[in-house]
Amino acid sequence: MNAQLSEGKCEACNIDATSLSEDEIKSLQPQIPSWSIIEDEDKIKRLICAFAFKDYEESLRFTNNVANLAEEEDHHPEIILEWGRVTVSWWSHKIKGLHQNDFICAAKTDELFNNFN
């Protein structure tokens, strides 16, 4: 379902870029159904998803895969590593909100998880 997004490539996002509109967010969100949109205390919207694993070692390997993805895309999430669980949050720091890059990286994170063994 998210093949279109996962095939995208992040574009350089500068401080003058605009955040996605509510309509744009609503049109993209169905492509990443496991992700939630949260608004933090500073009213910054983020995509967030938690992934479950059988142990710490698997959680760590997945974390490293997401870190490699972040480097490839030059777009860096917040990653919380726990025993059997990794929580990933994507948002665009420069614009303090959501950009298409965040949806692309969320879709690619889903792909990493779906192909994880």
| CA distances to 6, 21, 90, 103 from 10, in Å | 10, 18, 12, 10
Interval 37-48: pLDDT, tens: 999 999 999 999
Q: Is residue 3 part of a domain?
A: no
CA dihedral 34, 10, 59, 84 (to 10 degrees): -20
The pLDDT of 62-74, averaged and rounded, is 96
- Its domain, for residue 39, covers 19-114
Other CB atoms within 10 A of residue 48 CB: 18
Question: Residue 87: how many CA atoms within 13 Å on its side-chain side?
Answer: 7
Number of domain units in the chain: 1
Q: Is residue 6 part of a domain?
A: no
| pTM listed for this prediction | 0.90
Q: Is the pLDDT of residue 89 over 90?
A: yes
The one-letter code for the residue type at 8 is G
Q: Is the pLDDT of residue 2 over 60?
A: no
Q: Is residue 8 part of a domain?
A: no
Lowest-pLDDT choice from 3-7, 25-29, 40-44, 89-93: 3-7
Give pLDDT, residue 28. Answer: 95
Q: Is the pLDDT of residue 3 over 70?
A: no
Q: Is the pLDDT of residue 50 over 50?
A: yes
H or E segment at 87?
Answer: strand 85-90
